[in-house]
Structures are given as structure tokens and as C-alpha cells.
Amino acid sequence: MSTRKHTALPKAQILIEALPWLTRHNGKTVVIKFGGNAMIDEDLKAAFAQDVVFLRHAGLKPVVVHGGGPQISAQLDKHGLVSEFKAGLRVTTPEAMDVVRMVLAGQVQRELVGLLNQHGPLAVGMTGEDAHTITATKHQPRIDGELVDIGRVGEITRIDPGAIEALLEDGRIPVISSIARSADDHHVYNVNADTAAAALAAALGAETLMVLTDVEGLYEDWPNSDEVISRLTASQLEKLLPDLSSGMVPKMEGCLFAVRNGVNTARVLDGRVPHSILLEIFTDSGIGTMVVPDGQGEP
């Protein structure tokens, strides 16, 4: 064996370790939610794009759904508008909705499409408004038993996955902004990106939902300890939901919805770690928190 071949052997072994995961996911759809808080620096965003393109070339069908909460808040601030959240959702006046749409579809989505397309003509950006992909109705959360008006925040009523499926069929990587149209009043609505990713994963019959955020996973006793729950079933998660707070609520509700509606695994991963998607593929037990349907064993 030549020295060159010999030194390359560990690399071959590393690739082979990914074989079971890649075999299981071959030809399957993977919905990846990239949170606004995980998009903290340029290198991380570039590494994210590389990972997604890697999956595409490895025979998977990745779909990216992006957030942009901090980016929206910064832009609202520039416009002299305050950011207020109720029940974990942004209170969205018609004026704020214009900013949400501009930041998500005009800035964050464009940037991700640009980064992905540095690797070839792969990514196509769209919002849930396009081709009636996401239809919503006005969402009115109940706080302390009372229905509260939080403006143009949408509750998803229907997903039409046709346009995304056509893009996947064409070998493209769809990049979706979580904005919906309403069939009732023809306004556009602001949808939480975790909720949109989960609904899309279910409607697309995705194998896996990956949610990249700015923590290692679901902490068992947040904020007191950094012990991450590595695996839990849908029923176990359902019991935990009432105790969760802030950004984790839509994330874990989304994971639960996904695995209860045909998605095989939903994972919360640390998007601050470079190449967290590839790390997930290359480690048997996975990183972060994995949610599985009931009947797939206790953690």
C-alpha cells in the first residue's frame, strides 16, 4: 500500500461511519430549520450552507426553513418600533408585518440562498405565500383564559407542498420564509418559523426534522442546569410541554407535531457548533435532543 493511500485511510473510515445514516435517508426529505439566533456569524452560516449542499449531493432532499427573530427585532428598532412577545409570539401590527416580510424574505432568505448557491445553482427561495404553500388564519392565543389579539400572527390551516415537491424533484434546495397568506382576509401573516418547519416536515412526509438553535438541545432543568435531554418519546415530551418557556415552546411543540404526523425523528441541535448537521450524521447516538414517536423505546 502506498503511503498516500495509507494516510487517507482514517478519512475513508470516517466516511463509512456515515453510511448507515446516509443509507436510511437516501432519497428522503429532511427539513432543516435554521434559527435566527443560530445565525450568529458568517463562518457558521457558510458551514451551514456547506452541510446542506453536502446532504443534497449525498442523495437526500433537504428543505431549509429559516427564522430571523433577532434580525426582525433589530430592523423594527431601526424603524422606532418596539418588539413585544406574547405567548412566545411577536405581536405583529400591520406596520410591523411589512418589516417582518422585508427582513425574512428580502434579507435573511436572500442571504441563505446566496450562500447555498456559491456551490451551484441549487437553492430557490420562496415564502409560504408562494403557490399557496402555507395558508393561515388569524391566531389568537389564550393567555390566563382570555383570547388575546396579537395582530397579524398566523395559525397554519393548510399546507400545499406541491411547489416544494416540484423544486425537490428538479434537484433544487427550497429555502422557505415563514410567512403565510390568509384565505379569509387576503392579508399576509407572520408564522413562527419552528411551527412552519414542523408543519412542512409533516406535509412533505419528511424522514427527519432538524431544528438548529443557540443551545445544545432541550435542557432538563433550564436555566438551573445544562443537562441536555438526549432522547425522548412523543408522550414524554407532551408531559414536559407545560413546563417549557420562551423560544423552546414552539420548537418542542413543533417536534411533537412532526413525530405525531409521520416524521420519524425530530432533533434540536446546537447551531452555534460549526457543521452541527454533519456531526449529527457522523455520530451514532446523535447530538442534541432527539424526539421519536411513541413505541420507539424509552430514553
Ligand X SMILES: Nc1ncnc2c1ncn2[C@@H]1O[C@H](COP(=O)(O)OP(=O)(O)O)[C@@H](O)[C@H]1O
| Interface region with ligand X, contact rule CB under 6 A, candidates 57-65, 101-109, 110-118, 215-223 | 215-223
What residue spans of 244-299 are helical by DSSP H?
248-260, 276-282
Answer yes or no whether residue 36 interacts with ligand X by CB under 6 A: yes
* Numbered residues of the known binding site: 68-69, 90, 190
Q: How far is the CB of 40 from ligand X (least distance, A)?
A: 10
Answer yes or no whether residue 100 interacts with ligand X2W by CB under 6 A: yes
Output 39 or 60, the one with its CB closest to ligand X: 39
Name which of ligand X, ligand X2W, none residue 190 binds, using a CB cut-off of 5 to 8 Å depending on partner kind. Answer: ligand X2W
| Of the candidate residues 55, 72, 112, 176, the single one contacting ligand X2W (CB under 6 A) | 72
| Interface region with ligand X, contact rule CB under 6 A, candidates 71-79, 98-106, 172-180, 208-216 | 208-216
What is the spatial distance between Cα 153 and Cα 160, in angstroms, rounded to a whole number?
19
Break the chain down into helix, strand, coil percent, rounded to 5.
40, 25, 35
Give residues with Cβ within 8 angstroms of 290, minimum separation 6. Answer: 230, 231, 232, 265, 266, 267
Output 61 or 66, the one with its CB closest to ligand X2W: 66
* Angle subtended at Cα 158 by Cα 154 and Cα 161, rounded to the nearest 5 degrees: 120
What is the spatial distance between Cα 53 and Cα 33, in angstroms, rounded to a whole number?
15
| Interface region with ligand X, contact rule CB under 6 A, candidates 107-115, 123-131, 167-175, 211-219 | 211-219
What cell numbers appear for 178 in the block? 415563514
Peptide bond into 223 cis (omega under 30): yes
Residues 89 and 151: beta-carbon distance below 8 Å: no
| Interface region with ligand X, contact rule CB under 6 A, candidates 42-50, 79-87, 108-116, 240-248 | 240-248
| Interface region with ligand X2W, contact rule CB under 6 A, candidates 31-39, 156-164, 217-225, 266-274 | 31-39
In the numeric block, the cell 409560504 is attached to 128
| Of the candidate residues 55, 193, 244, 263, the single one contacting ligand X2W (CB under 6 A) | 193
Per DSSP, the three-state class of 216 is coil
| Of the candidate residues 127, 135, 178, 233, the single one contacting ligand X2W (CB under 6 A) | 178
Answer yes or no whether residue 225 interacts with ligand X by CB under 6 A: no
Answer yes or no whether residue 245 interacts with ligand X by CB under 6 A: yes
* Numbered residues of the known binding site for substrate: 68-69, 90, 190
Residue 72, Cβ density class (10 Å: 0-12 exposed, 13-18 middle, ≥19 buried): buried
Answer yes or no whether residue 89 interacts with ligand X2W by CB under 6 A: yes
Output 14 or 241, the one with its CB closest to ligand X: 241
Residue 267, Cβ density class (10 Å: 0-12 exposed, 13-18 middle, ≥19 buried): buried
Which residues in this chain contact ligand X2W in the complex, by CB under 6 A?
Answer: 35-37, 67-69, 72, 89-90, 100, 153, 178, 190, 192-194
